[in-house]
Structure 1
Amino acid sequence: MHIPFPQETYRIKGSIRSRGFSLIELMVVVAIISILGMIALPQYQRFAAKAKLTAALSEVAGAKPAVELIIAEGMQGLGLSVPTPEQLGLPTAGRYCEQFLVGRTSDSLSIQCRVKPDRYLGTSVSLMLERGGHTPGWKCTTYLMDESVLPEMCRRSR
């Protein structure tokens, strides 16, 4: 025997569910990600610039033992000549330094690294390490306005 049921008993109230996200929810997520990106991108660029300058400084530091030896033996052994970067153990160009330059005064030697152009740092950034015969330690010099990207050694010598 077949008993007919009314159609209303089969439908459960509130059983219609939406699937996925609404447009407003997606727009809120995109807005949050955009705001986080606006905050994170400059921080990342600053971090990358600082890492590049630190790596460039370590390339220049490869010449420290040779300079220390020249100063220990006395600058008179050089005569009036200025050693070349190759004589100090530096390559013509490094991974982060496009050019190495060596300078000399009567009692000090300096090694300069012209940093390869960078969007954050610009095109004319250079780091210079200087070692004087009468002063202890090394001095790092650069002409960047943003001190937050400088390696620790260069911040201390300012």
Structure 2
Amino acid sequence: MKTMQKGFTLIELMIVVAIIGILAAIAIPQYQDYVARSQVTSALQEISPLKTAAEEKLLSGRSISDPTDLGAAGTAGGTITTEYATLTLNNAGDEDMEIVATLDQNVQPAVNGAVITLARSANGSWSCTVTAAGSSGWDDSYAPSGCPVS
């Protein structure tokens, strides 16, 4: 009695490979978008605690000259480099100071060069904006909620 070999035919294997290719073509761009959004949000989370420190220093009359004065880890001298961004202060110590994070460290190309700005008004309120300067492939969905794209 003759037994038949069991297994997959070439066409069945090609169909499986095609299905995997289609799924990968959908999943990889979605994953890259997720990573870009998470990097922008992470940069915002790195600078958000500095608002409280800035308020405390301004209200107590102490001087602020760079991000290290607000408790940011790094060497004093004007800018601090974090995992995803470079932090700077504009109008340091003034009532209308700005805490700025420029995404330029280990980020997706779509968000490279984006700038997150936490701006303080003279009345003590803070606002957040994102500028997609220098970013090719930027999508407004990368901006965290409550931090509109300008």
Shorter-chain TM range is 0.7 to 0.9
Q: Does 1:46 align with 2:33?
A: yes
| Residues 78-118 of structure 1 deviation map (CA, whole Å, 9 limit, x = unaligned) | 5xxx6211111112221222x21101286311111121253
**1: distance between equivalents of 2:54 and 2:121?**
10
Partner residue of 1:8?
none
CA positional deviation for 1:20: 1.4
User: RMSD across aligned C-alpha pairs, in angstroms?
Assistant: 2.4
- Answering whether residue 134 of structure 2 is matched by residue 147 of structure 1, we say no
| Partners of 1:37 and 1:125 in 2: CA distance | 28
**Rg larger in 1 or in 2?**
1
Aligned to 1:86, the other structure's residue is in SS state helix
| Identical pairs, percent | 31
TM-score of the superposed pair, with normalisation by structure 1: 0.74
TM-score, normalised relative to structure 2? 0.77
Q: Which residue of 2 aligns with 1:5?
A: none
Equivalents in 2 of 1:23, 1:143: separation in Å?
A: 52
The yes-or-no answer on 1:126 pairing with 2:115 is yes
Structure 1 residues without counterparts, runs of 5 or longer: 1-10
Partner of 2:84: 96
Number of equivalences: 137
Letter of the 1:84 partner, please give it: D
Structure 2, unaligned runs of 5 or more:
74-79, 133-137
